[in-house]
Homo-oligomer: A and B are copies of this chain.
Amino acid sequence: MSSSSTAPRRGGKAEAAAAKPPIRDALVAAAFRLFLERGYEQTTVDDIVALAGVGRRSFFRYFPSKEDVVFPDHERCLADMTAFLAASSDGDEPVRRVCDAARLVLGMYAENPAFSVQRYRLTKQVPGLRAYELSVVWRYERALAEYLRGRFAGRRDGTLEADVIAAAVVAAHNNALRSWLRSDGEGDAGATVDHALGYVQAAFGHAEAEPGGRRSGAGAGASARTAADDVVVVAARRGTPLWRVVREVETALGPSGAARD
């Protein structure tokens, strides 16, 4: 719950100039050094604390489990995402909002490309870490889904929509993120994720999703649903691919066009 906030308070005493990393950072550094040079399962917690120069008991005071040291900032990121979603207003388009929330996670990865790539290689080949990452991702997905459930409350299949859209957003985000990680963090992570999320927005969102990924900061004001007599009629030939009809309907119902691909 508060893995990052579990860190003891910073000592007020100015210790030299920049002795920021308390014990927690030393543990992360030691752990990654050993994980990379001899493997995750071949490294025991005793090895880590020995290299970090702290007691074994302290490790579990900073990280509830050995796996947690591999994801040292996810708790903070999850808290950021929750706060971001809680700060939305009713004017926000829900799907766009969860897409933006997903971009927060990408931002965390993009902060330390080298670290993220190392961790990616690690989690890719250690089943235990992969399983742990799944539980982390699941919490992100639940946060998005819970937000959408709130926004979709009252709709007939609100929870179904919320769960499906949240899963789609997470899947698109992860697809782009992993593609970026596989390229050793060389490409433009933001553009890749924007493209992937644009696909989801085109499928589920009512607002515009520009193919280039540069999204306009505005975009609110999609609600014109008070006009009950405002009826849209769409005609299509039988045999038309459904996605074309969907696009037609979407452009007719929404304020602006939804461009896909």
A-side residues, CB < 8 A to B, are 130-132, 134-135, 138, 155-157, 159-161, 163-164, 166-168, 170-172, 174-176, 195-196, 199-200, 202-210, 213, 215, 223-246, 249-250, 253-254, 261
- The residue on B at minimum CB distance from A243 is B207
CB neighbours of A243 from chain B (8 A): 157, 161, 206-207, 209
Return 27 A-B CB contacts under 8 Å, by A number: A130-B135, A131-B132, A134-B135, A160-B199, A161-B199, A163-B174, A164-B168, A166-B171, A167-B167, A167-B168, A202-B242, A203-B204, A204-B242, A206-B241, A206-B243, A207-B241, A210-B241, A213-B239, A224-B239, A225-B239, A230-B237, A230-B239, A233-B233, A234-B249, A242-B249, A245-B249, A246-B249
- Contact (Cβ within 8 A) B231 A242: no
CB neighbours of A157 from chain B (8 A): 195-196, 199, 243, 261
Question: 4 closest A-B pairs (Cβ-Cβ)?
Answer: A225-B239, A167-B171, A206-B242, A230-B238
Given A242-B206, A250-B242: A164 in contact with B199 (beta carbons within 8 A): yes
CA of A243 to CA of B253, assembled, Å: 12
CB neighbours of A232 from chain B (8 A): 235-238
Given A134-B134, A261-B157: A253 in contact with B225 (beta carbons within 8 A): no
Identify A249's interface contact among B164, B195, B200, B249, CB under 8 A: B249
